[in-house]
Amino acid sequence: MLLDWLTIRAYKNVMERIDPAAEFEGGNSALAEGRAGDAVRHYRRALRVAPDVAEVHHNLAAALARLSRREEAVEAARRGLASRPDFAPLQVALANLLSEAGQFDAARTHFQAALRQDDKLAAAWSGLAGVAMAQGAYEEASGNYQESLRLSPKNPVAMNNLAICQQRLGHAHEALALYRDLAVLNPELGQVQNNLGQVLQGLGRHDEAVAAFRRALELAQRLDERIDNVAPFLMQSLMYQCAWDDLAAVRQQVLDETRRRLDGGLPITVQPFSLAGTDADGALRLAAARSYSAHCAGQVAPLRDRLAFRHGPSQAPALRIGYISPDFRQHSVAEAFKDLIKTHARDRITWFGYAIGGGGRDHVTDYFRDQFDQFRDLKDLDLEAAGRLVHGDQLDLLVDLSGFTRHSALDLLELRPAPVQAHYLGYGVTLGTDCIAYLLTDLVHTPPELASHCSEHLVYLPDSFMATSRPKVDASQPDRMSQGLPEDGVVFANFNAHYKFDPDTFNVWMALLAQVPDSVLWLLRGSDRAMANLCATARAQGIDPRRLIFADKAPHGVHLARHSLADIGLDCRHHTGGVSTLDALWVSVPVISTAGSNHSARTGASILHAAGLGELAVADMAAYHGKALHLAQNPNALADLKSRLRTNQSAAPLFDTPRLARHLEAAYGEMIRRHRAGAAPGSFAAAEVL
């Protein structure tokens, strides 16, 4: 008993010597100086004497958060609110901690409580916006960030996040204005220049984008600031400009940085789609896809776990299959897909279409709205609402048409709203995610040596994975003179976007012009800078730039009518054409392509084999050059090839959309059958399950 009494007396004496105000100030000083551990000790001493002072709990939570001791920080904030629930700054502090932990609903509750107590708290509006943003509610987030900026103008974090929301909502010009303001307020921040460049790139203003990216790199180097994702975006804009002087070095930087981050277990900073224009091998592309998909999955994991979609057993004879895409509008994917949906069987399958993304809606959207049995436009829904709607349709299978392309459906697919999910057509390459069980492909596009570089189970279509729609060619019959083409002489053509061009392939094209007198190269008109760069490259190789003919953009039917004036199509190398190649074949213009070492370099080969023209898909650029030169110098051989192509339009599998529809329906049915039987997904050939 004596020991207990002595202990109590000593403790009392210590307590009497503690000045809670002094300890509080000491903690504040330590926290301001970056000594979070010392601050925690001061605040805890203060709380021994004054356990109900909310301000002390608030600062203790901040110090613990600096030390990454989140659970203790949350407990400190809760203790403070227990004694003073009307202390709005502590509500905000707790909400921020919960938001960082992915507990968004709980965080929202505390932000809202703070605003009920003080609706002038800019931090609470900003935090509430962050929660909405994390949950995919960009319209709500945008409004909350605007309110935060009204109370605290020029807050750089709120301005940056509002710009991101505006981009997600398709308001690129509003985002651009915000980033321009940020660049004026923070002229030495490289990340602001990087963000500015990305918006400019999205608007197709690549000259300005390149300047912003180079400024970002300059600032990063001068201020020893690391900005990991500048190079991929700079690479993309340089490719759009056909600015090749330092492109090889930038491309190598992208590949080296991607490998470095993957080797170090860090998330990659390059969007996997950017690798399509490089010579990255299949292993690197798969690793990049896995890393990027894991990052996307991590962002939506809290919502996915909260929704926890279940899929009850279904044995209904009529299957329910959905296609999801941001491109149910005037777009190359829509052009290829439109006959397929019209041809799909209706007696045993109900077809659902889901339009996503902030892109415009147009007459093509109206066409798809009529073709699907059920059409849902998810444009104005946040991620949770979109997921609930798709899940509520009780699909048997959801087929993604976007992959890693712009306005991807990946975040929604990560919620797993359908029991079986597959990818087809729009990207055509592995997505590296567990939420996609199947990739529909063919043996030319995915030969055995590439199969191991796909995370999905492969479903092999017997011909080509490429869908094609019989186009309407304008009735006009333009002549060569009207298009600025020579009356005589071979017309080589490539109507792909300029970012697919590369200097080595362009050198081959220039060699062909040098070897074939009076020949020209017919291209689409691009930006002034891109066309000037192409002409300068031609001139440097001794080719008169006037032999490069640039065609204005035109409606698809009009373009096809003039496309028929070409003699030989020349495909790109790293990123081969898709719909552009189909366009050429429909108007009987043969296309020479290569069967490269990765998926993006094999799309042209897949198309040509299904068109019955496999001999035009050659092994390398030497054979490519030789094939083009042979046809250009042998008009009879070229005429025979064109004649065979016209015949194949009524016989070859590529042009037989009902055949493709049957193969796809068989494949979809087998995927669903396996799921209903409780069997694991597995690779198979679609022709074998007809």
DSSP states along 201-221: HHTT-HHHHHHHHHHHHHHHH
Is the predicted pLDDT of residue 5 greater than 50, yes or no? no
Q: Give 512 or 134, the one with higher predicted confidence.
A: 512
CB count in 10 Å sphere of residue 427: 23
pLDDT of 102 reads 85
Residues of the chain with CATH 3.40.50.2000: 481-655
Q: What is the mean pLDDT of residues 499-526?
A: 97
Q: What is the pTM of this model?
A: 0.86
| Residue 454 CB-density burial (10 A; 0-12 exposed, 13-18 middle, 19+ buried) | buried
Angle, alpha carbons 94-99-101 (nearest 5°):
100
> Which ranges in the chain are annotated with CATH 1.25.40.10?
6-198
User: How confident is the model at residue 16, as a pLDDT?
Assistant: 52
d(CA 562, CA 557): 9
**Residue 270 pLDDT:** 78
* Predicted local confidence at residue 135, as pLDDT: 83
**If we measure between CA atoms, which residue out of 284, 254, 282 comes closest to residue 597?**
282
CB atoms within 10 A of CB 671: 27
Please state, in angstroms and rounded to a whole number, the distance separating the CA atoms of residues 687 and 444: 15
Q: What is the pLDDT of residue 545?
A: 98
pLDDT digits (tens, 9 = 90+) for 325-338: 999 999 999 999 99
Task: Give the residue among 689, 676, 687, 679 at the shortest CA–CA distance from 311.
Answer: 676
Residue of 395, 392, 410, 387 lying closest to 304 (CA atoms) = 387
Instruction: Tell the CATH topology of 6-198.
Output: 1.25.40
Give residue-wise pLDDT tens across range 397-424.
Answer: 999 999 998 889 999 999 999 999 999 9
Rounded CA separation 373/350 (Å) = 6
Cβ neighbours around 442 below 10 Å, total: 24
pLDDT score at 466: 97
pLDDT single digits (tens) 175-192? 999 999 999 999 988 889
Up-side HSE of residue 572: CA atoms within 13 Å toward CB?
A: 27
At residue 10, the pLDDT reads 44
- For 436-461, the pLDDT digits (tens) are 999 999 999 999 999 999 999 999 99
User: Which pLDDT band, with edges at 50, 70 and 90, does 313 fall under?
Assistant: confident
How much is the average pLDDT of 229-248? 94
Instruction: Look at residue 7 and tell me whether its pLDDT is greater than 60.
Output: no
What percent of the chain is predicted at pLDDT more than 90? 84
Residue length of the chain: 690
CA 176 → CA 179, 183, 196, 239, distances in Å? Answer: 5, 10, 7, 22
- pLDDT for 221 equals 83
pLDDT at 12 over 60: no
Please tell me the distance from the alpha carbon of residue 607 to that of residue 616, in angstroms, as a whole number: 10
Rounded to an integer, the average pLDDT of 156-165 is 93
- For residue 598, give the DSSP letter: S
The tokens describing 118, both together, are 């003080």
Nearest to 277, CA basis, from 238, 223, 307? 238
Closest by CA to 280, choosing from 244, 307, 316, 255, is: 255
CA 47, CA 559: separation in Å to the nearest integer?
77
pLDDT of residue 3: 36
Is the confidence at residue 8, as pLDDT, over 60? Answer: no
Domain span(s) for CATH 3.40.50.11380 in the chain? 309-436+663-680
Q: Looking at domain 309-436+663-680, which CATH architecture does it have?
A: 3-Layer(aba) Sandwich (3.40)
Strand partners, 322: 352, 398
Across residues 485-503, what is the average pLDDT?
Answer: 96
Asked whether the beta carbons of 579 and 507 are under 8 A apart, the reply is no
630-637 average pLDDT score: 98
- Measured between alpha carbons, how far is 319 from 349 in angstroms, rounded to an integer? 5
pLDDT digits (tens, 9 = 90+) for 641-685: 999 999 999 999 999 999 999 999 999 999 999 999 999 999 999
Structure confidence by residue, pLDDT tens digits, 592-611:
999 999 999 999 999 999 99
Q: Are 477 and 558 in contact (CB under 8 A)?
A: no
The CATH number, out of the four listed (3.40.50.2000, 3.90.245.10, 1.10.10.10, 3.40.50.2300), of the domain defined by the range 481-655:
3.40.50.2000
Of 315, 245, 233, the residue nearest 274 (C-alpha):
233
40 pLDDT higher than 90: yes
pLDDT of residue 229: 82
Q: What is the pLDDT of residue 136?
A: 80
